Amino acid sequence: MKPTVNAKDVAKLAGVSQSSVSRVFFDGAKVTEKTRQKVLAAAKELGYRPNEYARSLITNSSKIIGLVMKGVQNPFYPQVLKQFTTSFKKHGYSVLFVHTNNDEIQSDDIDTLLNYNVAGVIITDASMSMNVAEAFQANRIPLVFFNRKLTSSQFHSVCCNNLNASRKIAEYLAALETGEMVYISGNEDTSTSREREQGFAEVLKQRGIAYKKYTSDFSYNGGYETAQKILSAGKIPSAVFAANDIMALGVMDAFRKQGVQIPEQVKVIGFDNIDMASWPAYELTTWEQPIEKMVDETVNYLLSEISEYTGRARAVEVEGSFVERKTT
């Protein structure tokens, strides 16, 4: 009893050589229509499917994309995961999912990715020490930081245009209020958090509006606790800009619990436009990150680097859009 049927078996049944079978199943190889039909018929009869491991071994390449993710609690990321998976499927790639608990990717995760000789790597919501990222470069494996940017510009990244977005948000708020505002950052070592503050601060300064910064962690509870701190500091700010939606929701709930009226007493703005932002319980004004465009950018870059590695890196910025709801 032979469990797996291989190309040779198909070849025998079809009356051709193993090479021909291989050529039928390998895109871009030349075969006569006649033999193709014979092979396909035989393959179907035997239930043949090419062994992906033998393929990867001989071609020294794989059809697997490594996707590293941390914040599955933030609904933004499952959404991203879904889009990546469906998009790559269209192009014949599968997704190896790697979850990291730490901010920084563990070296054993890297090992996994290298052992599987992944065709490309996407890192979302996590950072990575420089020398680890260089390990991928050394192996000529294209790498994209998604929604994160490294200070060093030698790595490719795809983000929303945070600077522009936060400027627009500040301008919008400045047109409504002039009292002291609050910015709630996420984890301070993230580019997203820093950039969103930068644009916000820039415009407010220009308009002569003060703001106070609170540091949090991109989580609902973080937002909730920060809002409590804000209230216990005594003065209710005219507006709060949270670095992402999920924190903004926490902020709203904490304010409401204390009877603070939104938007009458304080305006709240988030970032991402996750599903929940549109829920009637929140109706959060926010900035929409164009996930689809960002994913497309990432996929296209990876595919082009996979087909021909250049190592050329760029910080891609995609424009998002303002979504006005009931919290402002």
- Taking the C-alpha atoms of residue 151 and residue 191, their distance in angstroms, rounded to an integer, is 8
* Dihedral sign computed on CA atoms, order 324, 325, 327, 328: positive
Continuous segment of H or E residues that includes residue 215: strand 211-215
| Distance in Å, CB of 26 to DNA, minimum | 4
Rounded Cα–Cα distance for residues 63 and 133 (Å)? 20
Q: Counting contacts by CB under 7 A, is residue 46 touching DNA?
A: no
Q: Minimal distance in Å, beta carbon 205 to DNA? A: 57
Give, in order, the Cα–Cα distances in Å from 274 to each of 161, 205, 268: 17, 29, 15
Among 50, 134, 177, 293, binds its own copies (CB under 8 A): 50
For residues 185 and 214, the answer to whether their CB atoms sit within 8 Å is yes
Helix (H, G, I), strand (E, B), or coil: what is residue 231?
helix
Considering the complex, what minimum distance in angstroms separates the CB of residue 97 from its own copies? 4
* AA letter at 132: V
Alpha-carbon gap, residue 86 to 91, rounded angstroms: 9
Residue recorded with tokens 């319980």: 281
Sheet holding 267-269, edge to edge: 211-215, 181-185, 239-242, 267-269
Question: Cβ of residue 304: shortest distance to its own copies, in angstroms?
Answer: 20
Nearest distance from residue 60's CB to DNA, in Å?
6
In the bound state with DNA, the residue whose beta carbon lies nearer, of 37 and 261, is 37
Of the residues 42, 98, 165, 204, which one makes contact with its own copies according to CB under 8 A? 98
Taking the least distance from each CB to DNA, the nearer of 4 and 307 is 4
What's the rounded Cα separation, in Å, for the pair 45 and 42?
5
- Based on the shown chain and the rule CB under 7 A, indicate whether residue 100 belongs to the binding site for DNA: no
Phi, psi of 294 (to 5 degrees): -65, -40
If one asks whether residue 263 binds its own copies (CB under 8 A), the answer comes out as no
Residue 253 binding result from its own copies, DNA, none, given CB thresholds of 5 to 8 Å by partner type: its own copies
The rounded Cα 286 to chain-centroid distance in angstroms is 18
Q: Which stretch binds its own copies (CB under 8 A): 89-97, 232-240, 260-268, 313-321?
A: 89-97
Q: Is 292 one of the binding residues for its own copies (CB under 8 A)?
A: no
Under the criterion CB under 7 A, does residue 32 sit at the interface with DNA? Answer: yes
Judged by CB under 7 A, the stretch of 42-50, 92-100, 150-158, 237-245 that binds DNA is: 42-50
Interface with DNA includes 26 (CB under 7 A)?
yes
Burial 98-113 (b: 16+ CB within 10 A, else e): bebeeeebeeebbeeb
Token pair belonging to 241: 């800009």
Using the rule CB under 8 A, is 210 a contact of its own copies?
no
Our CB check for its own copies shows the closer of 98 and 150 to be 98
Q: Is 119 helix (H, G, I), strand (E, B) or coil?
A: coil
Least distance from C-beta 27 to DNA, angstroms?
9
Residues lying near DNA in the complex (CB under 7 A) are found at 4, 6-8, 15-20, 22-23, 25-26, 29-32, 34-35, 48-51, 54-55, 57-60
Residues lying near its own copies in the complex (CB under 8 A) are found at 3-4, 49-54, 56-57, 60, 62, 64, 67, 72-73, 75, 77-79, 81-82, 85-86, 89, 94-99, 101, 108-109, 111-112, 114-117, 139-140, 220, 224, 249-250, 252-254, 256-257, 275-276, 279-282
